Amino acid sequence: MMKRLLSCLVAVATLCIGTVAATPPAIAQCAQGVLCIELDNPNIEPLPFAAPSFIAETAGADQYARDLASVVAADLQGSGLFRAISQDAFISQITSFDSPVQYADWKAINAQALVTGAVSTTSDGQIIVKFRLFDVFSEDQLGEGLQFVGSTNGWRRMAHKVADAVYSRITGEGGYFDSRVVFVSETGPKNARLKRLGVMDYDGANQQFLTDAQAIVLAPRFSPTGDRVLYTSYESGFPKIYVLDVASVGRRVLQDQPGTMSFAPRFAPNGQDVVFSLTTGSNTDIYKLNLPSGQRTQLTSSPAIETAPSYSPDGTRIVFESDRSGTQQLYVMNASGGEATRISFGQGRYGTPVWSPRGDLIAFTKQNRGRFHIGVMRTDGSGERLLTASFLDEGPTWSPNGRVIMFTRETAGSGGSSTLYSVDISGRNLKAVQANASDPNWSPLLK
């Protein structure tokens, strides 16, 4: 099953940018000849679009055709930037992939974009998906479309790829739908919770487990290529870091030093180095381990607790949390270690910092006046913005395009539970993703 998730889909056509002539409401000319949503507009309204069921071009493709269009629509609407028009409102029906578009009928229901597609299956278990994107108001096709070929088991991935292409053409940004999230699945009562690693599509579908529930597991982290996962396990009685191969589900302990505890691991952008916290006696510092050579380097040396390190996308800097100032705050240092600069100065305590894949922001958890928040700030600590507030919000992780943050929200009381939520970096579109789960980490886009 896991190997199916890793199967590649081959793009056999190129999606091009078309020329548009109109600027309908909720969209703007972000660049000459390119129709897009202004993502930085504080008054942005979701763009209405239509996604009719795809055309089944071979016998047996009907269900795939309906399901593909449904997932594409759900992806786009779930981003908060698009609004799907109900198929009950459609005047036109798409009966052939090559039929001319009746633009007047789509204008009449206020659709601003139209996504059409077709599906065919082959005798050897393959599926072929193609699609086109139209700007209804300019009555123009946006590009030549895309075609994907893969196994029938990968139909949801193809739908996510179609949605990513539509999202990218209209927003001007990379997509994030064709990605996965590794997380900790939690079952049982709060005082005796069973935890195991799980992996799922970004939207909670296709959930599978990577470990059993025999030991507590924490903080899974994908490698830059998405083929490995670092995590912390208590199976020996002490926290130790393991690296797991996602395809084979084989694993090994990263380092096993008697008398020490290792935790909070994260890959460097090069995929060869791992940064983590190591406790020896009563002292906790940050170390780097080179996986090929096994060479370990100490990066901090302080009587304080230093943990939760995260690399900048270019691998030159590390942000981490430390109580060296007396309270839990955020610091940035060179990737080689040395003197660190404090960047958090607001009221309260800061932790679990994560550098955006764009490199411009750092997400964090903040505790202040009995409430927990997920927030973002610039890399120098300026421009702090709190995106959420609840009894307990923690552990942010970035989508591959740096537009959305997923995190854990826990409810109060003895019967409280953890749920994965997502929110965009403007603080809009807060929504639940997966119940009975914690510690999410977003993969890069799948290849």
The predicted-structure confidence for 71-113, as pLDDT tens digits, reads as follows 999 999 999 999 999 999 999 889 999 999 999 999 999 999 9
Judged against a pLDDT cut of 70, whether residue 149 lies above it is answered with: yes
C-alpha to C-alpha distance for 233 and 230, rounded to whole angstroms: 10
Task: Select from 340, 337, 334, 404 the least CA-distant residue to 179.
Answer: 404
pLDDT at site 16: 28
Domain boundaries, the chain: 47-171, 179-445
- Given a contact cutoff of 8 angstroms between Cβ atoms, the answer to whether 95 and 102 are in contact is no
pLDDT, one tens digit per residue, over 241-260 is: 999 998 888 888 887 666 57
Interaxial angle between packed helices 62-78 and 155-171, expressed in degrees from 0 to 180 and rounded to the nearest 10:
40
Torsion on CA atoms 280, 283, 284, 288, rounded to nearest 10? -60
Judged against a pLDDT cut of 60, whether residue 356 lies above it is answered with: yes
Residue appearing with tokens 């003895």: 414
Q: What are phi and psi of 348, to 5 degrees?
A: 105, -170
Mean pLDDT across 161-172: 94
For domain 179-445, the CATH superfamily is: TolB, C-terminal domain (2.120.10.30)
pLDDT at site 155: 95
- Given a contact cutoff of 8 angstroms between Cβ atoms, the answer to whether 276 and 264 are in contact is yes
Mean pLDDT of the chain: 89
Local confidence band at 35 (pLDDT 50, 70, 90 cut-offs):
low
Judged against a pLDDT cut of 60, whether residue 20 lies above it is answered with: no
- Tell me the DSSP string of 387-407: ---BS-EEEEEE-TTSSEEEE
pLDDT at site 18: 28
Local confidence band at 176 (pLDDT 50, 70, 90 cut-offs):
very high
Local confidence band at 414 (pLDDT 50, 70, 90 cut-offs):
confident
pLDDT at site 161: 96
C-alpha to C-alpha distance for 87 and 45, rounded to whole angstroms: 21
- Tell me the DSSP string of 10-60: EE-S-----------TT-EEEETTEEE--TT-TT--PEEEE-PPPEE-STT
pLDDT at site 256: 66
| Beta strand spans in 87-193 (E) | 113-121, 126-135, 140-141, 146-151, 180-187
Local confidence band at 33 (pLDDT 50, 70, 90 cut-offs):
very low
| Higher-confidence position of 17 and 366 | 366
Percent of the chain with pLDDT over 70: 89
Distance between start and end Cα atoms, the chain: 17
What's the CATH code, domain 47-171? 3.40.50.10070
pTM, two decimal places: 0.89
Residue 144 identity? E
Mean pLDDT across 263-280: 94
Mean pLDDT across 115-123: 95
pLDDT at site 257: 67
pLDDT at site 283: 87
Mean pLDDT across 156-181: 95
**Checking DSSP bridges between strand 82-84 and strand 47-50, what pairing results, if any?**
parallel
* Burial grade of 299 (CB within 10 A; 0-12, 13-18, 19 or more): buried
Cβ-Cβ contacts under 8 Å for 300 (sequence gap 6 or more): 285, 286, 306, 320, 322, 333, 337, 340
pLDDT at site 374: 98
* Number of Cβ within a 10 Å radius of residue 256: 12
**245-252 contacts at long range (C-beta below 8 A, 24 or more positions apart):** 246/2, 246/5, 246/6, 246/199, 246/210, 247/2, 247/3, 247/6, 249/2, 249/210
The distance from CA 73 to its chain's CA centroid, rounded to whole angstroms, is 18
- Given a contact cutoff of 8 angstroms between Cβ atoms, the answer to whether 93 and 52 are in contact is yes
Mean pLDDT across 280-293: 91
| Higher-confidence position of 24 and 318 | 318
pLDDT at site 34: 47
pLDDT, one tens digit per residue, over 179-232 is: 999 999 999 888 888 999 999 999 999 999 999 988 999 999 999 999 999 999
Local confidence band at 43 (pLDDT 50, 70, 90 cut-offs):
low
pLDDT, one tens digit per residue, over 322-354 is: 999 999 999 999 999 999 999 999 999 999 999
Mean pLDDT across 345-366: 97
Torsion sign (Cα): 431, 421, 369, 402: negative
Judged against a pLDDT cut of 90, whether residue 32 lies above it is answered with: no
